[in-house]
Structure 1
Amino acid sequence: MSYFRCILFVCALIFSTFAHASVEVEVSGVEGDEYNNVMALLQIARLDENKSYAAYRVRYLHRQAPKDIKKALRPYGYYQVEVNAQLETVDYGWSASYQVSLNEPVRISQNSWKIKGDATDDKAFRKVIESSNLKEQERFIHSHYESVKSRLLSLASQRGYHDARFIEHNVEIDVEKNSAAINVVFDSGQRYKYGQITFEQDILDDELLQRYVPFEQGEGYNTQELSQLQIALGDSGYFSSVQVSPQWNESKQHRVPITVNSEPNFRNQYQYGIGYGTDTGARVRASINRRWVNTEGHQLRGTTQISEVESTVG
């Protein structure tokens, strides 16, 4: 009889170990972006509440949960996090709860950003640094640090610092002192200037198209001015498509050639209309727009209207 009871006990133990049940997870003590990141990295929270899971898997993920939570909060400057974790069996399966104590965050003790190269005197770069959320004694948030780095590289690309790079970029975190020391050295290199401008088209004189260019050869490169040129040529009506491209591989002495590729528009545009007015009666209207007459870009527009009362030609 005792042997039979022992077998029943072992079977019950095995069943409880591998039984399946759903899991409900609750995290308190954090909110906002921090909470969202915790829930994204917390493995036990990613289990489907509508599914059942083996008991051994639930217990394992519960043991891992404090590590997941601490890892999720470090990018927001919290390195002294404490987690009170509890796992209980309930009617529907499991209930896991985690009470988070953030404690004192890591604060910026040093915020050193140095600009070298031609951008040393470019106020746009200094403005990026000064307008950032990185201030001494403020909580160190890793995404703010990466954002400034990204904006510096983006600005360098926009303003023609084609060889820009970070010589140094590191953050030293002292967990015991809750401090973060930022040390970044950004070398912009030499700023590129506009080289020769080439128009790839055969319907208009280059001299006419040159009037649309908002910069001069030898001036500092700026992608915004290239966008202005592309929009202006597109709005001229001469072309159906325009692409303005810097030829970095052909740069010499830090001067980058600019190529303007374009497709001509339909030379003639026709419009027709039929209507009725109390002053004109029934009327028919037709117009033609010749987008270019010659290589100098002259245009011709003609309109004809025939009605019961009056006909006009313009």
Structure 2
Amino acid sequence: MIDPRHSGRAVLTAAVTLLLAGPAFAARLSVQLEGLDGPLREAALARLELEQYTNREVSPAQARRLYNRAEGQIQAALEPYGYYNVSVHGELKQSGETFTAVLEVKRGEPVRVADVDLRIEGETEGIRAIDQARAAFQPRVGQPLDHAAYERSKATVSAALFGSGYLDAVLGTHRVEVNRSSNAADIHLAWSAGQRYRFGETHFEGGQFSDEFMARYIPWEPGKDYYSQDQLLSFQQRLVDANYFAIAQVQPNVEGAADGLVPIDVMLAPAKRTVYTGGVFIGTDTGPGVRGGIERRWVNERGHKLNFEALLAQRLSTVTGLYQIPLPGQDNHAYNFGATYRDEDTDTSQSKTLRLTANDSRIWHGWLRTVGLNFLTGDFKVADVEGSTTLLYPEISFAKKHADDLTFPRRGWSLTLAGRAGAESVLSDTSFAQVTADAKWIRGLGDNSRFIARGSLGYTQVSNFDRLPPELRFFAGGDRSIRGYAFQTVGPRNDEDDVIGGKQLVVASAEYEYYFSQNWGAAAFVDSGDAFSGGNFDLKVGAGFGLRWRSPVGMVRVDLATPVGDRYASGVELHIIIGPDL
């Protein structure tokens, strides 16, 4: 308890000073708070009026009033953290023209939860979101009575009920009984769940397509599936991913709910129909270059898409055209037809190829599954060996990614699996079978750091390796492979010591990033692996440091790396990568 005698002496001294100094006397105020740290200290200082007057001029009477209110303010600030028996001892000192409020806080033992009585009237058992919200409720028995955790948990249960279709759920009882003498608290909560609603009709407004076309994006069956907030978010994400709309807002019409059905209102605004893109870029694998493109987001009322893109860089030039036909259904089903001309000139190979592609893509158990047919023809030169090839081969791939934030994930991963095969008996110059896997994993470490791991695997069986074009051979080295080695300079070599590519690939990388500001950070990394054939695996290791910039156009990575433990390779390689993490 604050001793009024100390306050009285300070005021008496201040009064004498006031008489000597005249009516304009004022002093500055400072606070010395002891006995608290971390969030408790921050909460106490935020509540203290004394703190708000720090370094401001106050009169002796003002200083006394502020000081006398300090005890109650500190006690009120700590109650939400479970401290109901807080004592404050202090003194208001004056030295010259400065008042110093010295406050020593003894927080005592926290009030702990003795019992949690959480009841939901209604048939809600077995509903995952509700069960999880109940199981995660805090504070638990034996824990300090944290009011913020209590309010968050209470809101989570209410949100789980609403998000699971209980749109009329009411929290009828919400009471916390605190016994200060025993430092114990009982929590009483009771909800009345009410009726569980199902999805009703979906009404679209403002879009450029018919309701029949839009129905392919709805992930539920009206009148059958229970309302789910997760399904609603999935629906909205599908509309956004379709790339037809500038605005896609999805809301339940709670006021219009009747007979156990809740209508869904969708507000749409068409995106710009034709988009032109262009710009310059730089990449250490491709060299500097320019790119441009035309995207027709919908060609007709059936939502067909058309896209052209051209890229011209120092070591790579491509021209690509893609025509997409979306199909009815809830799995983003589409037929895709494409053509790509590719002219590439690297340190190890040169090639000019034309690829024609026809495939079927859809969402399958959460994965993007693509099944198609490729026709590849062209000329190439690897080391000093020139060749030409024609290949007709089917291909299947599965891709999935998950991230808490696609622009800068702190928890995320991606995985792509692919397989392709061709046969000499079916319009191919060589028989081959190939499988590949690419993975990336990101985890935040504390508030300012991330750990990033990635890996690539590949395996090929081929009857005539010399007829396999460079883009179907495995090379290592480069920005997204083993940094410290130039692009595609790691792999099996011929008798002239030229890299010719391999049948197998193993690459792994570990990277640590630390951000010293919101948009700037540094990285340290180690990459390793090899492209090889048969049992001739020769581990290559590259390590280095880099700079990270979260720029307006995406993540920019600038790395310096060097080979480690390789007597045939040395020096420092510069690597520049611009683009998303996943």
TM-score (norm 1): 0.80
Show the counterpart of 2:398.
none
- SS of the residue 2:217 aligns to: coil
2:188 match: 183
> What SS does structure 2 have at the residue aligned with 1:190?
coil
CA positional deviation for 1:297: 3.0
Q: CA deviation at 1:29?
A: 0.8
79, 84, 88: which one aligns with 1:74: 79
C-alpha separation between the residues in 2 aligned to 1:248 and 1:171? Answer: 31
Aligned equivalent of 1:40: 46
What's 2:251 paired with?
A: 245
Matches within 5 A, 1:150-229: 150-200=155-205, 203-217=208-222, 218-229=224-235
Higher strand share: 2
d(CA) in 1 for partners of 2:127 and 2:133? 11
Q: Which residue does 1:97 correspond to in 2?
A: 102
1:17-76 deviations in whole A, cap 9, x for unaligned? Answer: 974211221111111111111111122222131x32111121122222212211211111
Q: Match of 1:176, SS?
A: coil
Q: Deviations over 1:56-99 (max 9, x none)?
A: 12112222221221121111111111211111221232121111
Instruction: Give runs of ≥4 in structure 1 deviating > 6 Å.
Output: 271-274, 302-305, 311-314
Q: Secondary structure at the match of 2:109?
A: coil
Map residues 249-268 of structure 1 onto 2, 5 A cutoff: 249-268=255-274
Alignment pair present for 1:15 and 2:34: no
Cα gap change, 1:15/1:293 in structure 2, threshold over 3 Å: closer, same or farther? same
Is this contact kept in 2: 1:214–1:228, CA < 8 A? yes
- What is the deviation of 1:262? 2.2
Output aligned runs, 1:298-309, within 5 Å: 298-300=304-306
Q: Deviations over 1:85-130 (max 9, x none)?
A: 1112212321211111112221111111112224344232232232
Residue 236 of structure 1 is matched in structure 2 by 242
**CA shift in 2, pair 1:45/1:211, >3 Å:** same
- Indicate how the Cα distance of structure 1 residues 119 and 52 shifts in structure 2: closer, same or farther if over 3 A, else same: same
**1:299 Cα deviation from its structure 2 partner:** 4.1
Instruction: For structure 1, list consecutive stretches of 5 or more residues without a partner in the other structure.
Output: 1-10, 275-284, 306-310
Q: 1:126 to 1:72 in 2, by over 3 A?
A: same
Is the counterpart of residue 53 in structure 1 residue 58 in structure 2?
Answer: yes
CA RMSD of aligned residues (A): 3.1
* Cα offset, 1:273, TM superposition: 9.7
User: Residues 228, 90 of structure 1: CA spacing in aligned structure 2 closer, same or farther, 3 A cutoff?
Assistant: same
Partner of 1:124: 129
Structure 1 pair 186/22, CA: closer, same or farther in 2 (3 Å)? Answer: same
Q: For 2:165 and 2:107, locate their aligned partners in 1 and report how far apart those are by CA, in whole Å.
A: 44
Structure 2 residues without counterparts, runs of 5 or longer: 1-14, 281-290, 312-318, 322-338, 340-582
Aligned-partner Cα distance in 2 for 1:147–1:253: 32
SS in 1 for 2:219: coil
Work out whether 1:87 is the aligned partner of 2:78.
no
Contact 1:118 1:190 in 2 (8 A): no
Aligned residue identity for 1:119: T
Looking at structure 2, the residues matched to 223 and 124 of structure 1 have their Cα atoms a distance apart, in angstroms, of: 10
Letter in 1 for 2:42: N
Q: Which moved more, 1:86-95 or 1:124-133?
A: 124-133
Q: After superposition, give the CA deviation of every residue in 1:119-143 in whole Å (9 maximum; x if it has no partner).
A: 3442322322322331212211111
Distance (whole Å) between structure 1 residues aligned to residue 293 and residue 101 of structure 2:
75
Q: How many residues align?
A: 288
Confirm or deny that 1:29 pairs with 2:16: no
Q: Greater share of helix residues, 1 or 2?
A: 1
User: How far 1:170 sits from its partner (Å)?
Assistant: 0.3
1:218-254 deviation line (CA, Å, top 9, x unaligned): 2111223222222222332433332223222222112
Task: Give the aligned residue type for 2:80.
Answer: P
2:26 touches 2:97 (CA, 8 Å); kept in 1?
A: no
The structure-2 alpha-carbon separation of the partners of 1:15 and 1:165, relative to structure 1 and needing over 3 Å to count, comes to farther
Query: What secondary structure is seen at the aligned counterpart in 1 of 2:72?
Result: helix
- The whole-number CA distance in structure 1 between the counterparts of 2:264 and 2:113 is 44
| TM-score, with structure 2 as normaliser | 0.45
